[in-house]
Amino acid sequence: MLAQVKKMTGGDFAGRFGAWWHGRDYVPPAVEETAAGAQSGEGEKPAEAVEPETPASAPEMAPPVPATPRTPVFAGPTRTQALDGAAIRIRALEMLWGEGRFSPGCFSLDTRIIDAALELADRPGDIGFIGADVALLQAFVAQSDRRPLVNEWRAACLARVGETIATAVVSACEVDRPRNLADNSLPALVSMEAFAYSDHKAGLVGRVFRALDAGGRWVFVDTTRRTKKTPPQAFASAWAEPLLATNDEIEELLTLAGFRTVRRLSVVEPVLNAARQGYANLSRILERAAADGLTGREGALLLQELAWEAQSWRARIRALEGGALETNLWVADKTEQQGPLGLSLDAVVKPDDAGAADTLFDSAS
């Protein structure tokens, strides 16, 4: 894979990536000096690029000894064997966004989601999850001894959760048809981007409402659109076709289902900061992957998945920054609640994390 990275970037990954990020043409280092030298006849072609002429009388050379093939090695748990395409995608996501993460996020935001879910959960019962990644579930089990009932519509994500969270009860389902959630049994349920990929949104809301007990709460993070259409390039590498709703459409569905209080809080900034941090680490990630011995098909697939994810999130960042998309933390209660959400999101990402990507791209330009 290292050879592929070098061939793709010419040894200047940060420069090429920074130019791509800012939408500028890539200018190799010292290109003006090289061009000037070529015009004046100065400078020579590097020796290693010149193919030496073989004399006619040269003795016959012994055939080279074939190199011993290297077995691909993957950093992280249970990654020493060859991976199928879905598992490679999970690995690429975790390399870009952090261990246990399937999308940009941070620990502080995870804990605020869990705090909101557990705030009113003074009754016995398990907590439901739809589309949660490993990092969010780890934050939950660190705070609560309740069982997480995990519903997941992506097989590779389900497998990753099952091998990591020992206390989780995992169930495969369609995103809008969670399973193994008994009626009136849950004090709280947490979902991530369930509305964004749900085909039957009213069915999703109705199923969650029935699963919650009389004082139940649904906490979810979802991306919504503020234009007539979803920017397709912002979800180019997603697991399924996004079917984004507007904030008003979601609020109407929640109210019609019977939720008495619906509140939301923008989490655009922490999501953007987490995404920028992932980009800032990308060149180091690729170098580390190369050093770990990723070669052949696995290495090529990993590069492809990283490229797709980077491309789609670059477009999504632009859409979030421009206001075409919005990401909110929602809290829907079956009981009447007063006042705004008691959550503070002003310090969910460290200041130096927020500026890391800008520093990389500015220095690369």
Contacts for 296 with CB less than 8 Å, ≥ 6 apart:
72
> Each residue of 29-86: pLDDT tens digit?
655 444 444 444 444 444 444 444 444 444 444 444 333 333 222 233 333 334 577 8
Q: Which tens digits make up the pLDDT trace of 286-295?
A: 777 666 656 6
For the chain, list the domains and their CATH numbers. Answer: 85-336+344-364 (3.40.50.150)
The vertex-203 CA angle with 266 and 100, nearest 5°, equals 50
pTM: 0.75
Strand order of the β-sheet with 325-333 is 169-172, 148-152, 127-130, 186-192, 212-225, 325-333, 261-266
Report which residue type is found at 19: A
Q: Which two tokens stand for residue 85?
A: 């395409």
Q: What is the pLDDT of residues 340-363, one digit of tens each?
A: 887 766 544 443 333 333 433 343
CB-based contact 206:257 (threshold 8 Å)? yes
At 160-194, the pLDDT tens digits run: 999 999 999 999 999 999 988 999 999 999 999 99
Average pLDDT over residues 19-29: 57
Interatomic CA distance for residues 291 and 306, integer angstroms: 16
